[in-house]
Structure 1
């Protein structure tokens, strides 16, 4: 069953839908809006896109990055993947509300292989932290006590997992993939493992949020990307989360 949605105004006339939870607004949506729209955390890392880019939004959440991208590149072709059912419902509502019905959406997690009924931990008060690997949130609870309290209310949902390469034909059966954005709460290497050999040369750029950047950077370097890792700031600094950019020269 889909969660009830609540509309939140973020700036001027811009707002979006989020799942209603039992504890009120945790401030997570405002933080994500600041990070994406104000700080330009994904496109401000040396990313260069054509006028009509082909983009993958892995871990789309309620769709803020896709909305930001479409505001800058209206002709962008986007695949937005989000596994949590309540969050996926908000994603679809936001795309419709802002007139972006052309975005390809999939209610799946991205991983190394196709799976069904995979346990996924959904945090009602911090849905952006929902993850396949809840054990990784131990560090968050220890280093950020306020976040730890908000992570206390969780439930397990069963999600489907697909390989990114199995979804790419629906987005772009041939030609370049201009950007793959990955923000998947600990499953970064899983997503990368789901890219087939034939698709790696198609990918021009990646931007990845990771708490453990070293293995991600090493993999991208082996794949021929020029890699940079931007040091964390704000609430992410305590967790050591870095934004990794990979670009082909």
Structure 2
């Protein structure tokens, strides 16, 4: 560099740094645009696949409300329904907006939520403040309220994971008593009772299970004392009682539908089994697709940070 700030090299021998940096910038811009287009295409493809998936489920008669699946075509008109673990009545509200209901029973163990349900729905349905429990449990049971309301449970360790607010004694009710209050049968029962669902169904009498048409269950197997083996054992028992099973969130078990095939006319039963097989196949394909996407993302992420 000369004293006057000019380069001593002739123009033909100077390094064109602007050209190099310009090429890098343009390359980065092109790469960013390609990535943006790729992300847009993937988003569009997922949206299309999701619409096709839900269209196929609709054609097969499956409805999903508030994370609980069931066959809408099997519901009687009007239907008798039960919401075990009703929370604030979200599932019941969504269900009655689409289907005619003749009788309903909402059971909630949390005193504050039971009071809310009574104020919101007390004039149109039966609200019971109780904890649904296994057969032959009478009297009261300790219910642990968590600082996270949806984690409140009869299992103290579950509520403790989010922080315990307090413990209260609440009335205990088994499935037989709930069915008696519904007139002896139920077309659709939804279970979201924070771990108690396994004991309730495992100890239920065969006659009580025979009185149910569809049970849509959220299993909570990821915390003790409930394990995946307990859920599998229950599913085996339900098959023995004549139920077909749809896992609507395979490979997880937080949306499992039990359909009492014995309440379906014999002439329709085989055809309905085929329908359930198709529905299960769709859910398995969806689950396998999302698992493969997660796996590929993990592999790419690891490759980026490998030495």
TM-score (norm 2): 0.55
Q: 2:242 aligns with which of 221, 224, 240?
A: 224
**2:164 and 2:238 mapped to 1: Cα distance?**
35
Residue 106 in 1 paired to residue 128 in 2? yes
Q: Which runs of 5+ in 1 are unaligned?
A: 1-37, 142-150
Residue of structure 2 equivalent to 1:144: none
With structure 1 as the length reference, what TM-score do the two structures score? 0.67
Which residue does the alignment assign to 2:24?
A: none
The aligned length equals 188
Q: 1:84 aligns with which of 90, 110, 119?
A: 110
Aligned-residue offset at 1:245: 0.5
Taking the TM superposition and a 5 Å limit, the aligned residue runs for 1:61-210 are: 61-96=87-122, 101-112=123-134, 113-124=136-147, 126-136=148-158, 141=161, 151-173=162-184, 176-193=185-202, 195-210=204-219
Deviating beyond 6 angstroms after TM superposition, the runs of 4 or more aligned structure 1 residues are none
Distance 2:68 2:76 in 1: 13
| Superposition RMSD in Å | 2.5
5+ residue gaps, structure 2, are: 1-62, 222-230, 262-307
Structure 1 distance, partners of 2:97, 2:203, is 29
Which structure has more strand as a fraction of its residues? Answer: 1
CA displacement at 1:55 relative to structure 2:
1.1
- Higher RCO (C-alpha 8 Å, min separation 6): 1
CA distance in 1, matches of 2:90, 2:83: 10
1:248 aligns with 260
2:81 is aligned with 1:55: yes
Query: Relative to total residues, which structure has the larger helix share, 1 or 2?
Result: 2
Q: Post-superposition shift, 1:166? A: 1.6
